[in-house]
Each structure stands twice: as structure tokens, then as C-alpha cells.
Amino acid sequence: MVRKGRRPNVLLITCDQWRGDCLSAAGNKVVRTPNADALAAEGVLFRQHFGGAAPCSPARACLYTGLYQMNNRVCRNGTPLDARHGNIALSARSLGYDPTLFGYTDVSPDPRTLAPGDPRLKTYEGVLPGFTVRQLLPEHQNPWLSWLKARGIDSSAGFPDIHRPADEIVGATTDGAVTTS
């Protein structure tokens, strides 16, 4: 409950590649997520939310801008977000909040706003305008990959290519369940 004259604190958590039903708070009988469940119990859990696009960067662009993919035009990872679109961080900042980032937003800046040769033109691991960066995690997958390696699981082969069709990767094999033409 918010006391009169006080604005609520807002904590927005977004996760990549995480099925919404993989929370015990959402009824999953196998997966145990006590910390996420505690947050859900004290806050708002969007039980009917769905991603506005796939893969991750286009989905985040929909969430950040409130626009459908056909309107924000971010159609794949690395597609620049048009600087003319507002976003959740800029809106929160205009209301007196200090939107603070712990993690990453993976936004490609609008090249029309940068000088030729700007190093930000070579990456899509940029920060959404409006955020104050507290803890940037541009290589967020490294702890997970180290955890797999410590258990004898080789995850290095083809890691950058995980979203490409197998027939485009030299030496890749498939079980035949998915075919491309």
C-alpha cells in the first residue's frame, strides 16, 4: 500500500528465454522458484502476459516502447531502435524516477544519432536511453556457461550460432525433426 504523497517503488524484472509457466508461483509442480515466488506474492504477477515478438531483442523493444513489432520495426537481434520512439525508461525519468539498470538491455542505438565511426555502431549490446547503469552485464551468459563446463557439458561448439538454421552452419547436424527448404 502506498502512503499518501509517496510514489511506489517499481521493480521490473525481465528474463530472456524463460517460459512463464516455469515458476512455482504460476503453478509449476516441478520447478521451485522461492525468491521469484516471494516477489510475486508481494507484487504483481502478469499471468496472461505474452512476448510481443521473438527473439529476445525484438521482444524487449515491444516491452520498452509499448509498440507492436510492426511499429517499432525491431525485427531481429541487432536491429536499431528508432530514437524517435519513447521508452519506459525515458517515461519513468520524466515522472521523476531514476530508472536504474542491473543487467543489460541489448539495444542497438539509432545510427542517425551517432557520428560515423562511433564504436556503438558495431554492437547491439547498448543501453536503452533513459537508464542509469548501476551494474551492466554485457556477457551475462558466461557464469552459466562456466557452470555447464564444471559439470562436463561442452557448450562451446556453435554457441554464437544457436539461433541459425542448421543447414547454414558448416558441420552442423540435426535429428531430422526440423527441416528447412
* Active site members: 56
- Distance of alpha carbon 169 from alpha carbon 154, whole angstroms: 18
| Amino acid in the structure at residue 11 | L
C-alpha cell at 35: 525468491
Prior bond of 55 cis (ω within 30°) = yes
| Cβ-proximal residues to 79 (8 Å cutoff; 6+ apart), any chain | 57, 58, 61, 73, 108
Q: What is the largest CA-CA distance in the chain?
A: 63
- Distance of alpha carbon 157 from alpha carbon 29, whole angstroms: 33
